[in-house]
Amino acid sequence: MDITPLVPEGRQIIESYGSGRFRIAGQIHLGSVLVFPERTEAWSVVAPEHVTADALAAIVAAGKAGDVELLLLGCGPRLTQVTPALRAALREVGIGIEPMDTGAACRTFNVLMAEGRRVAAALIAVESARATGAS
């Protein structure tokens, strides 16, 4: 039985994560990533304390353009709260932020893509013994 959500054409889904990498729309990405509906970019952040408005410049630009209304922040293996300053900086450009562990962020991104939402994900890579499916 296929449980993969139906995603509009031209949109990405996160197929798996773990072992310091992601498989997104059939492509392997090593390390942390920024995932937009139509593309994925490498992201140099490796820990939640390094997540700043500057580190999220591509997301901020997408928010200013009206392309992103919600950012899912995959904080690694555990949820970490974001600073009020970061939340306010994103709110200024019309973006809400939802921090969660990276696995939950991957799964939630897929669901929101299937709903056609204007969502992006900033995902900190997690190390694990084996890759885990994100569907």
pLDDT digits (tens, 9 = 90+) for 15-70: 999 999 999 999 999 999 999 999 999 999 999 999 999 999 999 999 999 999 99
13: pLDDT strictly greater than 80 = yes
Q: Considering the entire predicted model, what is its pTM? A: 0.90
**Structure token pair of residue 111:** 């669901």
Q: Would you say domain 14-127 falls under CATH 3.40.1230.10? A: yes
Q: Give mean pLDDT, residues 10-17.
A: 91
pLDDT of 131 reads 47
Number of H helices, E strands in the chain: 3, 9
Q: Which CB contacts under 8 angstroms, 24+ apart, belong to 87-92? A: 89/53, 89/60, 90/53, 90/56, 90/59, 90/60, 90/63
Give the residue carrying structure tokens 């056609």. Answer: 116
**Every domain of the chain and the residues it spans:** 14-127
